[in-house]
Amino acid sequence: EAQVTQNPRYLITVTGKKLTVTCSQNMNHEYMSWYRQDPGLGLRQIYYSMNVEVTDKGDVPEGYKVSRKEKRNFPLILESPSPNQTSLYFCASSSPGTSHGYTFGSGTRLTVV
Amino acid sequence: AQSVTQLDSQVPVFEEAPVELRCNYSSSVSVYLFWYVQYPNQGLQLLLKYLSGSTLVKGINGFEAEFNKSQTSFHLRKPSVHISDTAEYFCAVTLMDSSYKLIFGSGTRLLVRP
């Protein structure tokens, strides 16, 4: 089954403790992206990657890092999480040539206390 | 700058009534248009999309949307809603440039009452 897999689904952590949210897709998509969803703001792009070793900032990149060492994986790293990063995070992938739109993971609900 | 505007943050409606969720966009490049639905405590599901051709597109669960280029709108409609349609609906555009960026509106919460 074609899918984007995120882990974990839920995470509670403390301020300053480094964490990684994993994202993996099995569709051989070139594009991958991370979004955060906050009430009243919709989904905002954090980082995106057009292919292996090619990443760029989205609209709200502060406090986040990403890497794209393999085509299928695109982890989101919070080096020193803060309470304002409490949010619902989605990973998505796409292949521009297919025009099928983006496929989204199930989301990761992160709480930073 | 490109943007997507959903004018209504919440739309309450009675079961079996028709509904329209409004979406307008602004972009200097051509776009693909999408509607996504998010049921409570779930991820995003593609409802329908407009890429080209007929401006009226049909999606899952009886929803349809009409692309109006002159008004840069892509409103979502359903002639008769069900309780199970209660969810948050997001309008989004993908830029048809090298960024292929997906930009979302702020969402509309559809609340269907019995």
Structural Rg of chain A based on CA atoms: 13
**Whether the Cβ atoms of residue B85 and residue B15 lie closer than 8 Å to each other:** no
Interface probe with A: pick from B102, B103, B104, most Cβ of A within 10 Å: B102
What whole-number distance in Å separates Cα of residue A86 and Cα of residue A81?
Answer: 9
Of A98, A80, A78, which is closest to residue A89 (Cα–Cα)? A78
For every residue of B39-58, DSSP letters joined together read -TT--EEEEEEE-SS-SEEE
What whole-number distance in Å separates Cα of residue A13 and Cα of residue A79?
Answer: 12
**Whether the Cβ atoms of residue B36 and residue B92 lie closer than 8 Å to each other:** yes
* pLDDT per residue of chain B (114 residues) written in tens, 0 to 9: 889 999 999 999 999 999 999 999 999 988 899 999 999 888 899 999 998 888 999 999 999 999 999 999 999 999 999 999 999 999 999 888 877 888 999 999 999 999
Which tens digit of pLDDT belongs to each residue from A48-69?
Answer: 999 999 999 999 999 999 999 9
What whole-number distance in Å separates Cα of residue A74 and Cα of residue A53?
Answer: 10
What's the pLDDT at A100?
Answer: 61
Q: Which two structure tokens, joined as six digits, stand for B57?
A: 């597109």
CB contact under 8 Å between A104 and B44, yes or no, is yes
Q: Which two structure tokens, joined as six digits, stand for B25?
A: 């966009």
Interface probe with B: pick from A5, A37, A43, most Cβ of B within 10 Å: A43
Bridge partners of A5? A24
